[in-house]
Amino acid sequence: MTQSRLDKLNASLHTSELDSVILNPGPTLTYLTGLRFHLMERPVVLFFAKDQVPAIVLPELELQKVASLPYKIQVFAYPENPSEWEAAFRKAAQALGLDGKRIGVEPRALRLLEFRYVKSAAPEADFPDASDVLAGLRLRKDQSEIAAMRKAVKIAQSALEATIPSIKIGMTEKELSSELVMQLLGHGSDSEMPFSPIVSSGPNSANPHASPTGRKLQAGDLLVIDWGAAWDGYISDLTRTFAVGEVDGEYRRIHQIVLDANAAGRAAAQPGVPCAEVDKAAREVIEKSGYGKYFTHRTGHGIGMEGHEEPYMRGDNMQILEPGMAFTVEPGIYLPGRNGVRIEDNVVITETGADVLSDMPRGIRVVG
């Protein structure tokens, strides 16, 4: 599988204006090579040039990771002394003849640390944005990737179901978040989870990306829980909104509106449909109900090895949905200073429709 992915990148470079790409530790490097490194003060860079054996620059302490790979790779290792690191980068760039060439980069991933070493090794090179080429490689998930995401959804849902009985009026958002993290790990999530759970109650729930605070849950709150798990490097990203005790009628009403918008967005997700249509379908439900100005973000984003990747469910995105594309459908209504609702599911486009990976009950549930 790894060699086929490297071959796919090589083919993509032949249809682009790029001569090569460089990657530092992150999802794309792992996707292409199977190698996992963490970002640290010692730089690691993969060099991939058309029709050549790829090269990797890494510290000597990481050599065991590349000792028995099922594909060819040129290894340029450096010792602990930083004064010797530049030489390893220079040798790698020379081995692939990169000076003066177009070396594509991932702007959201490449750090200045690594870029400076590569720039020094190939001072006459250009460094254009390679996002389109690289994102295209990971855009359509294969069956093994979908199976991993399905497992990540199952872990996440089981973990939250196990957490719900512990939710009580008077506990803090941070306490609830901590309990959920423990349950996620206990139910099998990778230790490197996709993101820290969002647990927001009452006025805090009107902030789509709130962080858990010391606020105590109170009767009458809406409680938004946005959480996910990871399995074999692939993630889930879900949201459910609960009622803490009895809540005001308007809050039940906006929950139902968001529930209907979520259903409309999922129904619109079909092969051959522009991403914009998914956003439009969900947004129209909320707008027709009079709450359009309180839906302040796109309807969804791609998921896979990252929590946010292509494709994006935005009103201006005319990218066509194709089998294997995976994304969220997560409409919301946020009433500033009062309460908020979001309901989020994970969807994969199939040959004939859409497979909704998440099936945890979406209706309003009373906790506390």
Q: What is the pLDDT of residue 254?
A: 98
Q: Is 44 exposed, middle or buried (0-12, 13-18, 19+ CB in 10 A)?
A: buried
- CA dihedral for 276, 331, 162, 216, sign (positive or negative): positive
Q: What is the pLDDT of residue 175?
A: 98
pLDDT by residue for the chain (368 residues), tens only, comes to 789 999 999 999 999 999 999 999 999 999 999 999 999 999 999 999 999 999 999 999 999 999 999 999 999 999 999 999 999 999 999 999 999 999 999 999 999 999 999 999 999 999 999 999 998 999 999 999 999 999 999 999 999 999 999 999 999 999 999 999 999 999 999 999 999 999 999 999 999 999 999 999 999 999 999 999 999 999 999 999 999 999 999 999 999 999 999 999 999 999 999 999 999 999 999 999 999 999 999 999 999 999 999 999 999 999 999 999 999 999 999 999 999 999 999 999 999 999 999 999 999 999 99
Domain boundaries, the chain: 2-138, 143-367
Q: What is the pLDDT of residue 1?
A: 75
Please name every residue paired with 199 in a beta bridge, in sequence order, or none if there are none: 225
Three state DSSP letters for 54-86: CEEEEEHHHHHHHCCCCCCCEEEEECCCHHHHH
Q: What is the pLDDT of residue 168?
A: 97
Q: What is the pLDDT of residue 343?
A: 98
Q: What is the pLDDT of residue 2?
A: 87
Q: What is the CATH number of domain 2-138?
A: 3.40.350.10
**pTM score:** 0.94
Tell me if 2-138 shares its fold with 143-367. Answer: no
Three state DSSP letters for the chain: CHHHHHHHHHHHHHCCCCCEEEECCCHHHHHHHCCCCCCCCCCCEEEEECCCCCEEEEEHHHHHHHCCCCCCCEEEEECCCHHHHHHHHHHHHHHCCCCCCEEEECCCCCCHHHHHHHHHHCCCCECCECHHHHHHHHCCCCHHHHHHHHHHHHHHHHHHHHHHHHCCCCCEHHHHHHHHHHHHHHCCCCCCCCCCCEEEEHHHHHCCCCCCCCCECCCCCEEEEEECCEECCEECCEEEEEEECCCCHHHHHHHHHHHHHHHHHHHHCCCCCEHHHHHHHHHHHHHHCCCHHHCCCCCEEECCCCCCEEEEECCCCCCECCCCCEEEECCEEEECCCEEEECEEEEEECCCCEEECCCCCCCCCEEC
Four-way CATH pick for 143-367: 3.30.565.10, 3.40.50.300, 1.20.120.1200, 3.90.230.10: 3.90.230.10
